[in-house]
Amino acid sequence: MVPLFTAAAVVTGCGGPFPQSTLAPRSDFSAAVNTLFTGIFWWAVVVFVIVEGLLLFVIIRYRRREGAGEPRPLHGHTALEIGWTLAPALILVFIAVPTMRTIFATAGHAPAGALRVEVVGHQWWWEYRYPDLGIVTANELHLPVGTPVQLELTTADVIHSFWVPRLGGKRDLTPGRVTRIAFTADSAGEFSGQCAEFCGASHANMRLRVFVQPDSAFRAWVAGQRAQPAAPAPGSLAERGREDFARGACIACHTIAGLPQARGIVGPNLTHVGSRTTIAGALFPNTTEYLRRWIDDAPSLKPGALMPAIVLPDDELSALVAYLQSLR
Ligand code: CUA
């Protein structure tokens, strides 16, 4: 019996933690949405209690009684009818006004001087470009705490939707136009999110992470991303991997700053891939094992992945992984 209850608690999510709960906001955007939700929730509670209370009252008060005879027919009650038309209209006003206010407040216009990030949706990963900082990265978004952020969303293929429940979204990334999200994160931390618009085979695997950092940590991250990764030591496994990478199929899709052959833009920019905590749309930890499996047969790990299976001799695969891990 106990395992059954445990299983039920896990299935229904009673165990926590809740990394993607909109009820634990950590930005002005998500706080506004949460406040709106809470307000509407309590209006719904009031309506529920009144309607169900009246229903119960009528069921009990006017139930059929033995020997009571036929009830007296009624026709219309003008005051009541006006009342139950006006009351819902009033409640709708109380819901509509805060809703409109929230829609405008979260429309996506950050104050001047906000940190700009271009978010590009791809099947099935996220590209982040910081145009004012000269940084391009993937899947893991780094932001400074307490600083207004302006996200400008576009897509390279189909419609996606950017959603980090505790910070902001959902907002669609639509071909041919730029949509916006603006928010200011109020606490440092790691937040997970995901694509919220069905976009093909691996829609559910199009995950993302946001690292909200104190100013100094964010500045250190920026400095690291702007620098070119150190060249592998001569004669090292990573150096062999670098040569294999420059000669292999990888360069058709991936860019690595400092490796002139690698200029592909179809796949994620790998300049600092070794510094990320996850790979493949924030789906797997960035470990030796997963990197090997990912290169060897990406589509088996992530259905539909455009990264093809790259079958290599074992030592070549090890060298390639060593090189990618050196890109910090
Ligand atoms: Cu991208 Cu769903």
What are the extents of the domains in the chain? Answer: 22-60+78-106, 115-226, 237-326
Ligand 1 contacts CB of residue 199 (under 6 A):
yes
Calculate how far, in angstroms, residue 206's C-alpha sits from the geometric centre of ligand 1. Answer: 6
pLDDT of residue 1: 52
DSSP 275: G
pLDDT of residue 281: 86
pLDDT of residue 5: 59
- Alpha-carbon distances, residue 271 vs 97, 108, 136 (angstroms): 48, 30, 9
Ligand 1 contacts CB of residue 291 (under 6 A):
no
Calculate how far, in angstroms, residue 161's C-alpha sits from the geometric centre of ligand 1. Answer: 6
Ligand 1 contacts CB of residue 152 (under 6 A):
no
Q: In CATH, which of 3.90.1150.10, 2.60.40.420, 3.50.50.60, 1.25.40.10 is domain 115-226?
A: 2.60.40.420
pLDDT of residue 19: 84
Calculate how far, in angstroms, residue 95's C-alpha sits from the geometric centre of ligand 1. Answer: 31
Ligand 1 atom closest to the Cα of residue 159 is 1
Identity of the residue numbered 58: V
Nearest alpha-carbon partner for 145 in 189, 110, 107: 189
Q: What average pLDDT does the structure give for the chain?
A: 90
pLDDT of residue 218: 96
Calculate how far, in angstroms, residue 122's C-alpha sits from the geometric centre of ligand 1. Answer: 8
pLDDT of residue 67: 84
Calculate how far, in angstroms, residue 56's C-alpha sits from the geometric centre of ligand 1. Answer: 46
Nearest alpha-carbon partner for 181 in 121, 249, 264, 263: 121
Cα 47 to the center of its chain, rounded Å: 33
Would the CATH topology of 115-226 be identical to that of 237-326? yes
**Burial (Cβ within 10 Å: 0-12, 13-18, ≥19) of residue 180:** middle
Question: Which H, E and C letters describe 71-137, residue by residue?
Answer: CCCCCCCHHHHHHHHHHHHHHHHHHHHHHHHHHHHCCCCCCCCCEEEEEEEECCEEEEEECCCCEEE
pLDDT of residue 12: 58
Ligand 1 atom closest to the Cα of residue 200 is 2
Q: Name the stretches of the chain with pLDDT < 70.
A: 1-15
pLDDT of residue 37: 95
Q: What angle do CA 171, 156, 245 make, to 5 degrees?
A: 125
Structure tokens at 165: 């429940």
The half-sphere exposure of 129 on its side-chain side, counting CA atoms within 13 A, is 12
Calculate how far, in angstroms, residue 16's C-alpha sits from the geometric centre of ligand 1. Answer: 25
Ligand 1 contacts CB of residue 119 (under 6 A):
no
The answer to whether the CB of 280 falls within 8 A of the CB of 303 is no
Residue 278 phi, psi dihedral angles, 5° rounding: -135, 165
Ligand 1 contacts CB of residue 122 (under 6 A):
no
Q: Is CATH 2.60.40.1180 correct for 237-326?
A: no
pLDDT of residue 250: 87
Ligand 1 contacts CB of residue 197 (under 6 A):
yes
Ligand 1 contacts CB of residue 144 (under 6 A):
no
Ligand 1 contacts CB of residue 195 (under 6 A):
yes
